[in-house]
Amino acid sequence: MNKVTHKIQRSRAFLTVFLKEVKENLRDRRTLISAFLTGPLLGPVLFVMLINITLNRELDKAEKPLPVPVIGAQYAPNLVDALKAGGVVPGAAVADPEQAVRKQEADVVLRIAANYGKAWRKGEPVQVELFYDSSQRDANTSVERVTQLVEGYARQQGALRLVARGLSPSTAWPLQVARRDQATPQSRAVLMFAMLPYFFVITIFMGGMYLAIDLTAGERERQSLEPLFANPVPRWKILCGKLAAICTFSTASLLITLLAFAVVGQFIPAEKLGMELDLGVHFAAHVLLLMLPLVLLLSALQSMVAAFAKSYREAQTYLSLLMLVPIIPSAVLSFMPIKAQAWMYAVPLLGQNLGIMQLLRGDGVSAEQVGLCLAGSMVAAVVAVLATIQLYRSERLAISV
């Protein structure tokens, strides 16, 4: 061979590896399903289901007639009428209210004492009891409604008594709280969408996972890594071709999921909850930009972790563990909301998380934040790629067991 063919070969090796990996993996049904179906669509579907269930439940509870077993309804007909006006349907008395609530036969049970009428006429304070189980989150709306109706009735009657004695009702309530909620429709949505960034990360992860496993553990298990390394191509070029194939698949996954969210976003009845949701082109383009360095970072991390595994199965186990790592920023941010500092944008995963939440909130991201996010993640990605190249140079890597 002469020098000229060597030149040709240098520029072609990367492309050759890349094209072969893409072709081979396009023929693998498991990879295709994971990268283009379950990975990218799981998030949007789960999301819509979750939101619809939550929405319908909230809306139902607020409007629907609410059946409440009332014990001793005959002692307080006026109170029961007031409850009826508020949408409560008084039910037959139950023998054991504690038991009924615990067994979830009723969300809430109201008990009116037998001396209600007598005490009321004397103007003495009387007690009504509400039985409920606060660990049943499902029942909380019902409890809240009944409580408000009873308290409203009490306040109303109290005011009437004051007026009857010639006093202004305001003497009894010297202080009034006026609530001024500063939440915008978008920011209310954010609470519900806190896990959205994680869905994007998972999608990238699933898109490239099988390729990453195949890259080292798979090649080694089927004993093709040694012959591959006998070719006159530096190992780092082979690795780069493979990383490019992983990135291509995970980027395709991300695009599919963004598209799916954009479509699905049309059907989320967000306005019913007083939210505003924009998952359209503007949102998708920004997410894609923020996520690009993560695509490279994750592909290198996946390859690195898979390279330590002796077999395909072992690599799968390691990677499923690695998949849990990106949950951390999402979980931390949703459980203890922290005020974003500038440096946080430079932290991979955390930066993307903050950026996407801001986009959802409708605040938009500044050029500085995007810059920090891209730079921080890109540095991490380059370090991960270099570390993987180093790992790829080890003698033991190529030897099939």
Partner 1 sequence: MIEVRDLHKAFGTVKAVDGVSFTARDGEITGLLGPNGAGKTTTLRMLYTLMAPDRGQVLVDGIDAAVDPLGVRRQLGVLPDARGLYKRLTARENIDYFARLHGLPENLLKSRRDALIDALEMADIADRRTEGFSQGQRVKTAIARALVHDPRNVILDEPTNGLDVMATRALRQFMARLKAEGRCVLFSSHIMQEVAALCDRIVVIAHGRVVADESPDALRAQTGENNLEDAFVKIIGSDEGLAA
Calpha distance 219→399 (Å, rounded):
10
Q: For every residue of 345-374, which 3-state class applies, written as one string?
A: HHCCCHHHHHHHHHHHHCCCCCHHHHHHHH
Interactions with partner 1, residue window 9-38 (CB under 8 A): 9-10, 12-13, 16-17, 20, 23-25, 27-28
**Which of 174, 150, 12, 165 is CA-nearest to residue 79?**
150
Q: Which is nearer to partner 1, 27 or 165 (CB)?
A: 27
> Which is closer to partner 1, CB of 183 or CB of 228?
228
Minimum distance of partner 1 from residue 207's CB (angstroms): 18
Q: Which helix (H) or strand (E) holds 132?
A: strand 128-132
**Helix residue spans in 64-195 (DSSP H):** 77-85, 97-102, 116-122, 140-164, 185-192
- Residue with Cβ nearer partner 1 (230 or 324): 230
CA nearest to 348, candidates 322, 384, 367, 374: 374
Alpha carbon distance 190, 399 (integer Å): 50
List the structure tokens of 186. 């978008």
Long-range contacts of 258-263 (CB under 8 A, 24+ apart): 258/200, 258/284, 258/287, 258/288, 259/284, 260/40, 260/41, 260/43, 260/44, 261/43, 261/44, 261/47, 263/44
Residue count of the chain:
401
Min dist. Cβ of residue 40 to partner 1 (A): 22
Q: Using the minimum distance from each CB to partner 1, give the nearer residue, 12 or 282.
A: 12
Minimum CB–partner distance for residue 389 and partner 1 (Å):
16
In the complex, minimum distance from the CB of residue 19 to partner 1, in angstroms, rounded to a whole number: 9
Nearest CB to partner 1, comparing residues 27 and 121: 27
Build a one-symbol-per-residue string for 215-244: x at contacts with partner 1 by CB under 8 A, - elsewhere: ----x--xxxxxxxxxxxxx----------
Residue/partner pairs of 328-331 with CB below 8 Å, 24 or more apart:
329/197, 329/353, 330/194, 330/195, 330/197, 330/198
Which lies closer to partner 1 via its Cβ, residue 19 or residue 55? 19
- Under the binding rule (CB under 8 A), the answer on residue 202 touching partner 1 is no
Residue 30 is which amino acid?
R
The only residue of 63, 124, 181, 395 in contact with partner 1, by rule CB under 8 A: 395
Of residues 338 through 357, those in contact with partner 1 by CB under 8 A are none
Q: Residue 41 CB, nearest distance to partner 1 (Å)?
A: 24
Cα–Cα distance measured from residue 5 to residue 13, given in angstroms and rounded to the nearest whole number:
12
Work out how close the CB of 140 gets to partner 1 at its nearest, in angstroms, rounded to a whole number. 54
What's the maximum distance between 2 C-alpha atoms anywhere in the chain? 113
Interface mask (CB under 8 A) for partner 1, residues 128-167, using x and -? ----------------------------------------
Task: Give min distance, CB of 247 to partner 1, in A.
Answer: 20
Q: Is 393 in the site for partner 1 (CB under 8 A)?
A: no
Q: How many residues of this chain interact with partner 1, rule: CB under 8 A? A: 34
Residue 1 or residue 164: which is nearer to partner 1 going by CB? 1
Using CB under 8 A as the binding rule, whether residue 309 contacts partner 1 is answered as no
* Alpha-carbon radius of gyration of the chain: 31
| Buried/exposed code over 258-277 (b: 16+ C-beta within 10 A; e: otherwise) | bebbbebbeebebeebebbb
In the complex, the smallest distance separating the C-beta of residue 26 from partner 1, rounded to whole angstroms, is: 9
CA distance 308 to 306: 5
Query: Is 106 or 306 the residue whose CB approaches partner 1 more closely?
Result: 306
Query: Shortest approach of partner 1 to residue 138 CB, angstroms?
Result: 50
Amino acid at 52: N
User: Cβ of residue 32: shortest distance to partner 1, in angstroms?
Assistant: 12
CB of 36 or CB of 153, closer to partner 1 = 36
Binding of partner 1 by 127 (CB under 8 A)? no
Of 137 and 396, which CB lies nearer to partner 1 in the complex structure? 396
Residues that bind partner 1 (CB under 8 A): 1, 5-6, 8-10, 12-13, 16-17, 20, 23-25, 27-28, 219, 222-234, 395, 398-400
